[in-house]
Amino acid sequence: MAFNIEDLYDGITISSGNDGNNYLILICIHGNETCGLEAILSLQKSGELKSLLKSGTLSILLANPKAYEQKRRYINCDLNRSIAKNDLKFDYEIQRSKIVEKYIENADFVLDIHSTSGPSVSHALPCDLSCSENFAKTLPVNYLITKLAHLTVEGGTTLDFAKKQNSCAVTIECGQHEDKKSIEVAISCIKQLFNLKALINPSLIMLECLKSFEVKKGFLFKQNFSCFDFVKYGQEIASDDLGTITCTNLDGGYIIMPNSSPKIGEEAFFWAISK
């Protein structure tokens, strides 16, 4: 099936002609995270996209077209904090969220493809369903982090909504924005989506997210942390007007997705431990 980028703004659906699962790939939920789009275009060009689908249907939605065109994370508000909020505002992302919701409602499997603002290796974030975690364990990524999907400050994520729909959903963070390796990770994960009998990734490192830390007035990291940096008990991580944030876990833990441009009310970082 031939298509161009603009066709993906409203979404496309490819049918295998055989009964099976309904797969959904979400790309550009954040407009400046384009590795998923680049992966889809690469697979289309090579002819693999159609051949990968042996049964069921595949839908692809470029979720935030205006933000993508303007190379911005979002226009009015974070689309990945706006899903199923029942907000009556006419913000652009609020309107786009309704389209995202309809696609998720019809999906058995959801792969939501992202990248990170700071340096990071690839990782998978399953929603809190056993099928999602089992699927995530097969993906060719470095880390799997449980529980993080539902610990954002505002909620309203694609995975929050997918869980309510009982859809097997996983977000993948493929690496840093504009890193060519992130496109390779996205391609590999898309291929894996259709191989449900795959074995567990033997090199996968499992972590459990315990909480997120909200950016408050005066927030400042104590050093330039990268994703998955390990910190020891008592080590100072950041400070804000309320005091100093330190590692309180006796065995230490991991800094996940430290925000490179923290804004008040957003997640500063997530906190995880070995599982």
45-93 pLDDT, tens digit each: 999 998 999 999 999 999 999 999 999 999 999 999 999 987 767 799 9
Residue 2 has pLDDT above 90, yes or no: no
- pLDDT given at position 104: 99
Question: What is the maximum alpha-carbon separation in the chain?
Answer: 60
- pLDDT given at position 196: 77
- pLDDT given at position 88: 66
Q: Please give the share of the chain, as a percent, with pLDDT higher than 70.
A: 99
Residue 118 has pLDDT above 90, yes or no: no
Q: Are strands 22-27 and 109-116 parallel, antiparallel or unpaired?
A: parallel
Digit-coded pLDDT (tens) for 123-147: 999 999 999 999 999 999 999 999 9
Residue 19 has pLDDT above 90, yes or no: yes
- Neighbour order of strands in the sheet with 253-256: 12-15, 57-62, 22-27, 109-116, 168-176, 123-126, 143-146, 205-214, 267-274, 253-256, 229-231
- pLDDT given at position 96: 96
Residue 245 has pLDDT above 70, yes or no: yes
The model carries a pTM of 0.94
Mean pLDDT of the chain: 95
- pLDDT given at position 90: 77
Q: Please give the share of the chain, as a percent, with pLDDT higher than 90.
A: 90
Residue 224 has pLDDT above 90, yes or no: yes
| Residue 13 Cα distances to 56, 97, 106, 192, angstroms | 10, 18, 11, 19
Residue 166 has pLDDT above 90, yes or no: yes
Q: What is the mean pLDDT of residues 154-158?
A: 94
Which domains does the chain carry?
Answer: 5-203 (3.40.630.10), 209-274 (2.40.50)
The token pair that represents 70 in the structure block: 């303007």
Digit-coded pLDDT (tens) for 21-30: 999 999 999 9
